[in-house]
Structure 1
Amino acid sequence: MSKQKGSENLALVSGSGKTNASTETNVNLKKQVHLHHAIALIMGVVIGSGIFVSPVGILKHTRSVGFSFILWVICGLYNLLGAICYAELGTSIPESGGEYTYVKRAFGDLPAFIVLWINFLLVCPVGIAALGTMFALYIIKPIYPDCAPPDTPIKFIGSLLICLLIMVNCINVKWATKVQVVITISKLLALGTIICIGLYYIGKGETDSFKNSFEDSDYSAGAIALSFYSGFWAYSGWSYLNFLVDEIVNPNRNLPLAIGISMTLVIVFYLVANIAYLAVLSPAEMLLSPAVAVTFADSTMGVVRWIMPILIAISVCGTMNGTALGFSRLFYVGAKNGQFPSVISMINYKTFTPIPSLLVIMILSLLFQTSSDIFYLIEMEGFGFATVLVMVFAAQVYLRYKEPNLPRPIKLPIALPIFLCLVSIVIVILTFVQKPNESFLALGLVAAGVVLYLIGVKWKSKPKFFVERMEILHVRFTLLSTLTRNQFRHVKENGIL
């Protein structure tokens, strides 16, 4: 990009390639995510708080150790198949935006906007805010060993972490992916510690939890469905890599490889970690524990048991980082397509990162961080994500008929996305049955998004004064974002804008 006379290079440019200085440019997201980065991103997001904090949902409903292991594997295979379906879509439509892009191509603007809105309001900021709270809780837990930590430091530390991770993602994608690699290594060390200790106890003959392992199993459809829902949550996050396909080096090769390698490793780690837990703790002790990994550490690690809460916090941090990295690209693409304010589609030409999109995520996450009932919102998130999956798998099936000649480097049997779509529909129905209040509130928020779409996107004949005012605000923001510090001071002192 050339320099403008008398000023520095533009700091932000539109993702569409146009600036308000009437200068044409082609600034796009750079391909700088390699295979090992992609594997670290998926594992860093999927292996979050679930396996460390509350891996008891499946055990609670199956009522037996043996059947719970079977459900862990089945849930993992379901999510692996879902990830493979996303790999077909990602290599057939190699554009950032993930599920939003696929639904838009299949069904058009309104369904795509619903996907965008659900992720914008329910999935992304609520998840980041809750994980920030969880990070703070486990970081300061050793300071309050015998009581619950106070709310103020938890909210402060959680908010500080959110700002720090957003800053890293704003500065450099490579920094964000390198942070993800470091965090993934840390959480694998935590899991490795748990597994090694568990295997040591098994070697000592501590196998009481595995005797009569299928006794009292609950094989009812309701128990299996609820167990499946718990496993579905524990494995979630595998879809985030599709949000940044534009930045993956050789996506046709690296996207499916990253998904296959990472999800297989996650299934193995989850299964072996559960075996390790049960080598030390009885099923009853696991069910009574609010954080299994901490209880496990208290029982086995003696004076260094304080290490486990810190490792859990690092694990949660990785999930937050991957979420911010992936969803910022989704909102950027939505704005680029005219379904969000155009300022969100702007990219910093030096760092090649969608800074406005990241800042919106930060603001929404900080707002949710102030909530005293954040976990109520997290339950709504499950409804939102399952709804998105229904639409994505339906889009995959429909695209086979709508665009039969679309190049598909990976082409799966059509029965697979049909099956996954039906399973996801069952999960949505189950959510309404099990969590009606959260589900209907989430449904109301989706309906509100439809109204906003009709007003903001479809209503073309808006009042002239409203359109002009929005254009002025956009121009001001864009111009201010391009100024150097001295130029900004000059504009402010002379009241130019």
Structure 2
Amino acid sequence: MDEEKLRLKRDVGLMGAVSLIGGTMIGSGIFMSPQTVLSTVGSPGAGLVVWACCGLLVILVSLCYAELGTVIRESGGEYVYILRTSGPVVAFMLIFSSVLFVRPAGVAGTALGFAQYVVAPFYSDCPPPEVLVKCVAAVAILLLAAVNCINVRLSMSVQVFFMVVKVLSLAVIIMGGVVMLVGGRTEGFEDSFENTHVGIGPIGLAFYQGLWSYEGWNSLNYITEELKRPEVNLPRAILIAISLVTGLYLLVNVSYLTVMTPAELTSSSAVAVTWGNKVFGRWGWVMSLAAALSAFGSLNGTFFSGGRVCFVAAREGHMPDILSMVHVHRLTPSPALIFTAAVSLLVLIPGDFQSIVNFFSFTAWFFYAVTLSGLIYLKIRKPHLPRPYKVPVLLPVLVLVAAVFLVLAPIIDDPQMEFLYVALFVFSGAVFYVPFIHYELRPGVLTKLTVFLQVFLEVAPGDKHL
């Protein structure tokens, strides 16, 4: 086949890149994490510092990724970078963890955020029943699984509509806070740093919750091959998008603290609903609806990308063949989407929002640390590689130290068996790699199951450029 036919078109410009990063980042996190960040660090001032530091950390790690994206000009993000610097075993560990936990955990966590806001108006005086929240979250996952399996354009139309809702929701919250702040409502900022919890564990967990809201900062590295002038637009888009999102998040948190006392904020199960009730009175349910719609849009995007990661892993031979197939009529990777939905539902059953976010962040930052180690390796061992954009070697070293801190902080300060289980799960990928990938062991029953599912689901092997 002609090589030119295999090359993706570079159609994404600077504005499209900024929109992709910002739209992926803004989701349910800013409506779910503020109360947890505040309760973890103990004071409004420390909470705002955490949000600002999360934004700064994300900018710094993104600039490191910008250099990686201009040195290794392939789409695929961490998977490709780790494959090129650390080898196939570690890359398989990433895919293994991503497909079986990280991506489904992202779907489950976002679905819980959506469900929390759907049921919040009906339980204004008490927390909603956990079973009800999980049932609503499960329905949302199944609904979006169906939407994404039916039609890609329908899924993208959903994404565009809810992106507008997200921005309008944040704008309303910010403007409401500005009006009250100008009116002299400053009680929430008195003694801003009193009762701050200083410790390795609280700081690490607060960062986990804050960084959840910034997830998506690396989305542009997954489509590097489609970005116009990546050596220029990649770092520019990162700085513009993440700086804007950081500013929005800080203003939203200031608005929360202007309208609510720290005690009201930490005790709220749905902070935007509490904010709406205090600002709009009986019309406060509008904010619940806006937050739910925003979370639903974020869930759709998370589900869409999660299904594609599973599809790509199978296409590369790192997952069963059935997951690399597409529907013969709708041209959607329905087996991968169905599999992602099924694993997400399993993660949803025992988990709660905070635990899912903590374990998600723990695993994600472990692989971010591995990726940054690869950048340092390239700088030291291969300094002559073309680098249209580069950062000082001190920058990835500092961010690597921060990533290692984030991985180790919860374990050192307050060891929990759950983190050990997650770590064992991540490293178990290397055990599965040897028989199933290196020696290509394929049980006969898996082949029969693949044929059965291929006929039942009406799917066939997919093209590389689905």
Whole-Å Cα distance in 1 between the matches of residues 422 and 66 of structure 2?
Answer: 28
Give the aligned partner of residue 455 of structure 1.
435
Out of 269, 281, 284, the position equivalent to 2:263 is 284
Whole-Å Cα distance in 2 between the matches of residues 123 and 60 of structure 1?
Answer: 25
Give the aligned partner of residue 273 of structure 2.
294
Give the aligned partner of residue 131 of structure 1.
110
In the TM superposition, residue 35 of structure 1 has moved relative to its aligned partner by: 4.8
2:218 counterpart of 1:243: no
Give the aligned partner of residue 140 of structure 1.
119
Contact 2:310 2:340 in 1 (8 A): no
Give the aligned partner of residue 203 of structure 1.
182
Label 1:360 to 1:225 Cα distance change in 2 as closer, same or farther (>3 A).
closer
Give the aligned partner of residue 495 of structure 1.
none
Give the aligned partner of residue 20 of structure 1.
none
Partner SS state of residue 218, structure 2: helix
Partner SS state of residue 215, structure 2: coil
Contact 2:62 2:218 in 1 (8 A): yes
Label 1:362 to 1:390 Cα distance change in 2 as closer, same or farther (>3 A).
same
Whole-Å Cα distance in 2 between the matches of residues 65 and 371 of structure 1?
Answer: 31
In the TM superposition, residue 182 of structure 1 has moved relative to its aligned partner by: 2.5
Whole-Å Cα distance in 2 between the matches of residues 49 and 122 of structure 1?
Answer: 19
Label 1:244 to 1:81 Cα distance change in 2 as closer, same or farther (>3 A).
same
State the AA in 2 paired with 1:455: P
Partner SS state of residue 439, structure 1: helix
State the AA in 2 paired with 1:439: F
More deviation, 424-433/340-349? 340-349
1:282-322 deviations in whole A, cap 9, x for unaligned? 22322332332221112111121001111111222232222
Give the aligned partner of residue 159 of structure 1.
138
Partner SS state of residue 27, structure 2: coil
The 5 A counterparts of 1:24-423 are: 35-149=14-128, 154-170=133-149, 175-215=154-194, 217=196, 224-248=203-227, 251-346=230-325, 354-371=333-350, 376-423=355-402
1:393-420 deviations in whole A, cap 9, x for unaligned? 1111112244434333321112111111
1:149-195 deviations in whole A, cap 9, x for unaligned? 45665444423322343444455655544433332221221111111
1:226-273 deviations in whole A, cap 9, x for unaligned? 543443333233123323434556655544343222211111011111
Whole-Å Cα distance in 2 between the matches of residues 222 and 158 of structure 1?
Answer: 29
Unmatched runs of 5 consecutive residues or more in structure 2:
462-466
In the TM superposition, residue 373 of structure 1 has moved relative to its aligned partner by: 5.3
Whole-Å Cα distance in 2 between the matches of residues 374 and 287 of structure 1?
Answer: 15
State the AA in 2 paired with 1:457: I
Whole-Å Cα distance in 2 between the matches of residues 481 and 105 of structure 1?
Answer: 32
Out of 392, 413, 425, the position equivalent to 1:445 is 425
State the AA in 1 paired with 2:432: L
Label 1:32 to 1:112 Cα distance change in 2 as closer, same or farther (>3 A).
same
In the TM superposition, residue 38 of structure 1 has moved relative to its aligned partner by: 4.1
Label 1:28 to 1:309 Cα distance change in 2 as closer, same or farther (>3 A).
farther
Contact 1:241 1:326 in 2 (8 A): no
Partner SS state of residue 413, structure 1: coil
In the TM superposition, residue 430 of structure 1 has moved relative to its aligned partner by: 0.8
Contact 1:76 1:235 in 2 (8 A): yes
**What is the TM-score with the length of structure 2 in the denominator?**
0.85
State the AA in 1 paired with 2:437: V
Whole-Å Cα distance in 2 between the matches of residues 426 and 437 of structure 1?
Answer: 18
Label 1:183 to 1:247 Cα distance change in 2 as closer, same or farther (>3 A).
farther
In the TM superposition, residue 33 of structure 1 has moved relative to its aligned partner by: 5.5
RMSD: 3.3
Whole-Å Cα distance in 2 between the matches of residues 314 and 407 of structure 1?
Answer: 44
Label 1:378 to 1:290 Cα distance change in 2 as closer, same or farther (>3 A).
same
More deviation, 366-375/302-311? 366-375
Whole-Å Cα distance in 1 between the matches of residues 288 and 245 of structure 2?
Answer: 21
1:323-355 deviations in whole A, cap 9, x for unaligned? 223333333333333222233334568877544
Contact 1:201 1:279 in 2 (8 A): yes
Whole-Å Cα distance in 2 between the matches of residues 35 and 341 of structure 1?
Answer: 37
Contact 1:110 1:453 in 2 (8 A): yes
% identical aligned pairs: 36
1:18-53 deviations in whole A, cap 9, x for unaligned? xxxxxx996787766665554344333322333222
**What is the TM-score with the length of structure 1 in the denominator?**
0.80
Label 1:330 to 1:248 Cα distance change in 2 as closer, same or farther (>3 A).
farther
Contact 2:328 2:460 in 1 (8 A): no
Partner SS state of residue 301, structure 1: helix
Contact 2:90 2:430 in 1 (8 A): no
Whole-Å Cα distance in 2 between the matches of residues 442 and 272 of structure 1?
Answer: 34
Whole-Å Cα distance in 2 between the matches of residues 227 and 148 of structure 1?
Answer: 22
Contact 1:54 1:291 in 2 (8 A): no
